[in-house]
Amino acid sequence: MNAAKKVIIDCDPGIDDALALMLALASPELEILGITVVCGNVPARMGAENALKILKQMGRMDIPVYIGEESPLVRTYVDAMDTHGEDGLGESHYPEVTKMRPRTGAVQFLARMLEQAAKAPEEAKISIIALGPMTNLARLMRQYPESLAGLGELVSMGGSYKSHGNCSPVAEYNYWCDPHAAGEVYAGFAALPVLRGKRIHMIGLDVTREIVLTPNLLEYMCCLNPERGDFIRRITRFYFDFHWKQEGIIGCVINDPLAVAYFIDRTMCSGFAAHTEVETEGICLGQTVVDDHDFWKREKNSHILTKTDALRFMKFFFTRVIGECEEQVLEELMGRVLR
């Protein structure tokens, strides 16, 4: 097996962030250097406490957690606790981890780690899997632009190409929560010489909406691995209820784990390169405007993922997080998303 890829996961845990962290922690292809937390689903400090709970659940208290930006660059902060619960983990109310405490200075941690990798060969540079609003990344780009020489790849769960928004008719939460940050990061990938040739891999709602955890799949998890399955059941119950009320489905769209799976296995999703910008004002605030027909003839700063294979993802997730599964059983269970 090739050497593990060095990554930092920037997130806002958050129920689906928690599932993404579990998947990353169960994947030997990744060397997770740290977890940075940003205000998003829940305030950054709460998100950092939740990240610690996931690390404890997965037996990885060796990984540091850093608290990052506690408000968006410009907008007033709007959380998503209506979706993720008042504790950010579906009101599962797991006890706070006391053995280890989160540190402050997420942006400085990102800069320090990337600077150390600035002269490393491409395959040894540090990638970022971003699962929340891009506020930490925008601050990094503003304050430490030279550190980006150490960046490998950026995979971002966020945005939407042709699928409807989840915060407005056109906007996805991560980029709607801090559109100025997302806009600056996408602009940086189009303009900064240090990022020439690099693209943001945008795992948007077009692909993540295909990934639905259903009651049947949850029961299968609990049958195969009662301890791990029960943890997932406890943190997703609230999320199921929200999806029934909000989207009329029995199940929950788990966005973030797909970004981790795609980072590890690029065949998990397919898409195209394009220039993308993020709207920062008006009724389309937070919308990703993807120039799919190259009208503007601008630098292709993004790789827009539009297709995925939900069965392949579920098999990937089960095999790593639960420890096993039978593809035929998965396929049968996945035929039953009730609408």
**Interface segment toward ligand RIB; rule CB under 6 A; list 12-20, 61-69, 280-288, 311-319:** 12-20
Q: Interaction with ligand RIB in 105-144: which residues (CB under 6 A)?
A: 131-132
DSSP symbol at 60: -
Smallest distance, ligand RIB to C-beta of residue 19, A: 9
157 sits near ligand RIB (criterion: CB under 6 A): yes
Smallest distance, ligand RIB to C-beta of residue 294, A: 27
> Distances from the Cα of 51 to the Cαs of 60, 226, 254, in angstroms?
11, 22, 17
Binding site for Ca ion (CB under 5 A): 12, 14, 17, 131-132, 256
Query: Measured from the CB atom, is 147 or 172 closer to ligand RIB?
Result: 172
Six token digits for residue 326: 């039978």
Q: Out of 5, 9, 10, 12, name the contact with ligand RIB by CB under 6 A.
A: 12
> Distances from the Cα of 309 to the Cαs of 155, 240, 243, 273, 335, in angstroms?
18, 22, 21, 20, 13
Task: Of 167, 148, 147, 151, give the one whose Cα is nearest residue 159.
Answer: 167
- Binding string, residues 237-266; x marks residues near ligand RIB by CB under 6 A: ------------------xx----------
Query: Measured from the CB atom, is 129 or 333 closer to ligand RIB?
Result: 129
Q: Out of 8, 18, 32, 41, name the contact with ligand RIB by CB under 6 A.
A: 41
52 sits near ligand RIB (criterion: CB under 6 A): no
Query: Measured from the CB atom, is 63 or 258 closer to ligand RIB?
Result: 258
* 155 contacts 130 by C-beta, under 8 angstroms: yes
* 200 contacts 191 by C-beta, under 8 angstroms: no
In the list ligand RIB, Ca ion, none, the entry touching 206 (Cβ below 5 to 8 angstroms by class) is none
Smallest distance, Ca ion to C-beta of residue 41, A: 6
In the list ligand RIB, Ca ion, none, the entry touching 257 (Cβ below 5 to 8 angstroms by class) is none
Q: Token pair 């602009």 is at which residue?
A: 187
Strand ranges across the sheet with 151-157: 103-104, 65-67, 30-37, 5-11, 126-130, 151-157, 200-203, 302-308, 269-278, 288-291
* 48 contacts 97 by C-beta, under 8 angstroms: no
* 170 contacts 63 by C-beta, under 8 angstroms: no
166 sits near ligand RIB (criterion: CB under 6 A): yes
Binding site for ligand RIB (CB under 6 A): 12, 14, 16-17, 40-41, 80, 131-132, 157, 166, 172-174, 255-256
